[in-house]
C-alpha cells in the first residue's frame, strides 16, 4: 500500500463512522488518501474529520474547484490508483449501475479508469431486494469488485447481512490486491460447481438443500483474479456473477453432470463445491400431485456422481478438489471421500457449526490431501477460504 493513491468515496449511511477509521488505517498503511463525500454522508460526519486524518482536502461539490489549474473531478479520477466506495448505499450503487452522475462522487466514478471497489452497507432487506441485486450484478459485469458486507447487529435493529466490513479487513483486501500476482493461473482452465441442485417432483414441488453457492462463487472470483479461464456451473441465480467468469445455469443434478462433462478433457482444475442431490424422483409428474387419504411414498433413484466421474477419469496433470459438508465424523467421511473419488483434496466442514454452514459469509474448513495430510483453518471469510483453495490447487498443478 506504500505510496498508492486511494480515492475513498463516502456515501450517506450510519456506517460512515467506519469510513473515518478506514481513512486512518489506509494512511497508516502508507497510502495517500483523498476523500470525496455525498451530501448525505456529511449529515453523519463532517468533512473536517476526513481532512484531519487524510491530511488532504475533502471533496464534496462538483463545482467547488479548489485548484483553478485543474478540473477537480477529472484530476481526482486520473490521480487514483484505486477507488473504493465505502460505505456504499443502495442509492449510490443504483446510480453507479445506471451511469448517473449528479454529484461529486458519481461524476468522478464515471470519469476514472482506475479499478473501482464497492463495500456495501445497508439494511438486510435492502441488500436482498431484486433491484439492488440487479444493480450489483450490472456493476460486476462492468468490472467493479465488491467487498462483501458482514453479518451482525445493524443500526436499524435487525440482525443479518448488511454491516460494512471492518476497516482492518478492507485494508487487508486492498493490500492483497496490490501485492498478488494475477498470472498464477494464466492459461489454465478452472471448472467450478456451486450451490444446490433442484430435483422436480411435479410442477409445484421439488427436492433441494440449503446451499446458496456463496463458497463456489468466491472460488470462481478468486480463480479469475489469478488469471484463469473460469467456468462456473450453478443453479444460484441470485448471486452476482464475478467479473471474468463464464456462468452456466442449471437446475438438476443431471444437467450439472452434462455441463461439467463437456469440460472433462479441457479443464486443468475442477473445484466441485456444489451440494448435488444424491437422489432424484424416479417419476416427474406432469400435473400437481393431489392430496390423498393415507401416507404417500416417493420412489427415488440415484443421480450420477459428478466428483467420482471426474476423479476416476482425470489425467495425471489435472487437479480435482471436492467438498464434504458433514454434521458428524467429519475427518472419517472426508478421508473416505478423498480416496473413493480419487480426488487430490477434500475441503471439509461441519455445517452444523456456527459460522460454517450454508448461507453465511464465513466458513471453517479443513483440507485433506495427499497422504491424508490435514490442514486446519480458523474461521475465515469465504473469500479467504477461496484464496487458500486456489493457491493449493496452483501448488498441485506445479507439482504435477
Residues 6 or more apart whose Cβ sits within 8 Å of residue 192: 216, 219, 220, 223, 230, 231, 232, 233, 270, 271, 272, 273
Q: Is 367 annotated as a binding residue?
A: no
User: Among residues 324, 375, 367, 370, which one has the least CA distance to residue 344?
Assistant: 370
Distance CA 301, CA 304 (A): 10
Distance CA 308, CA 26 (A): 46
Q: What angle do CA 324, 330, 336 make, to 5 degrees?
A: 65
For the chain, what is the radius of gyration of the CA atoms?
Answer: 23
N- to C-terminal Cα separation, the chain: 34
Query: Residue 289 carries which DSSP code?
Result: P
Residue pair 149/119 in contact (Cβ under 8 Å)? The answer is yes
Distance CA 364, CA 259 (A): 29
Distance CA 172, CA 221 (A): 17
Q: What angle do CA 330, 333, 334 make, to 5 degrees?
A: 80
Active site residue 246: no
Helix (H, G, I), strand (E, B) or coil at 49: helix
Distance CA 116, CA 22 (A): 16
Q: Is 337 annotated as a binding residue?
A: yes
**Catalytic pick among 52, 156, 283, 298:** 156
Tally of residues, the chain: 400
Distance CA 300, CA 297 (A): 10
Q: Is 341 annotated as a binding residue?
A: yes
Buried b (16+ CB within 10 A) or exposed e, 137-152: bbbbeeebbbbbbbbe
Q: Is 305 annotated as a binding residue?
A: no
User: Among residues 157, 172, 153, 118, which one has the least CA distance to residue 7?
Assistant: 118
Binding residues: 278, 288, 323, 337, 341
Binding residues for CTP: 278, 288, 323, 337, 341
**Which residues have a catalytic role annotated?**
156
Amino acid at each position: 500500500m506504500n505510496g498508492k493513491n486511494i480515492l475513498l468515496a463516502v456515501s450517506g449511511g450510519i456506517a460512515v463512522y467506519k469510513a473515518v477509521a478506514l481513512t486512518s488505517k489506509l494512511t497508516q498503511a502508507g497510502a495517500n488518501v483523498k476523500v470525496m463525500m455525498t451530501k448525505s454522508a456529511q449529515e453523519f460526519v463532517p468533512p473536517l474529520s476526513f481532512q484531519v486524518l487524510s491530511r488532504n482536502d475533502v471533496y464534496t461539490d462538483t463545482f467547488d474547484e479548489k485548484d483553478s489549474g485543474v478540473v477537480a473531478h477529472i484530476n481526482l479520477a486520473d490521480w487514483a490508483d484505486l477507488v473504493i466506495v465505502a460505505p456504499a448505499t443502495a442509492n449510490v450503487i443504483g446510480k453507479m449501475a445506471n451511469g448517473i452522475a449528479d454529484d461529486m462522487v458519481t461524476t468522478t466514478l464515471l470519469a476514472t479508469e482506475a479499478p473501482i471497489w464497492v463495500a456495501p452497507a445497508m439494511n438486510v432487506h435492502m441488500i436482498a431486494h431484486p433491484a439492488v441485486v440487479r444493480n450489483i450484478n450490472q456493476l460486476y459485469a462492468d468490472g467493479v469488485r465488491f467487498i462483501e458486507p458482514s453479518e451482525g447487529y445493524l443500526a436499524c435493529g435487525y440482525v443479518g447481512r448488511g454491516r460494512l466490513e471492518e476497516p482492518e479487513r478492507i485494508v487487508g483486501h486492498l493490500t492483497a490486491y496490490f501485492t498478488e500476482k494475477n498470472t498464477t493461473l494464466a492459461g489454465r482452465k478452472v471448472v467450478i460447481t456451486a450451490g444446490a441442485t433442484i430435483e422436480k417432483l411435479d410442477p409445484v414441488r421439488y427436492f433441494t438443500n440449503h446451499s446458496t453457492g456463496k463458497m463456489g462463487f468466491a472460488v470462481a472470483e478468486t480463480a479469475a483474479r489469478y488469471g484463469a479461464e473460469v467456468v462456473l456451473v450453478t443453479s444460484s441465480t441470485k448471486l452476482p456473477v464475478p467479473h471474468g467468469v463464464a456462468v452456466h445455469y442449471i437446475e438438476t443434478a443431471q444437467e450439472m453432470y452434462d455441463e461439467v462433462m463437456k469440460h472433462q478433457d479441457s479443464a486443468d482444475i475442477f473445484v466441485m463445491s456444489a451440494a448435488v442431490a444424491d437422489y432424484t424422483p424416479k417419476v416427474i409428474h406432469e400435473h400437481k400431485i393431489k392430496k390423498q387419504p393415507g401416507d404417500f411414498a416417493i420412489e427415488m433413484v440415484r443421480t450420477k456422481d459428478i466428483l467420482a466421474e471426474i476423479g476416476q477419469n482425470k489425467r495425471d496433470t489435472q487437479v480435482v478438489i471436492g467438498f464434504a459438508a458433514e454434521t458428524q465424523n467429519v475427518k472419517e467421511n472426508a478421508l473416505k471421500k478423498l480416496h473413493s473419488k480419487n480426488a487430490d483434496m477434500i475441503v471439509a466442514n461441519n455445517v452444523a457449526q456456527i459460522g460454517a454452514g450454508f448461507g453465511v459469509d464465513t466458513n471453517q474448513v479443513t483440507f485433506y490431501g495427499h497422504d491424508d495430510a490435514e490442514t486446519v483453518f480458523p474461521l475465515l471469510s469465504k473469500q479467504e477460504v477461496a484464496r487458500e483453495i486456489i493457491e493449493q490447487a496452483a501448488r498441485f498443478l506445479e507439482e504435477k
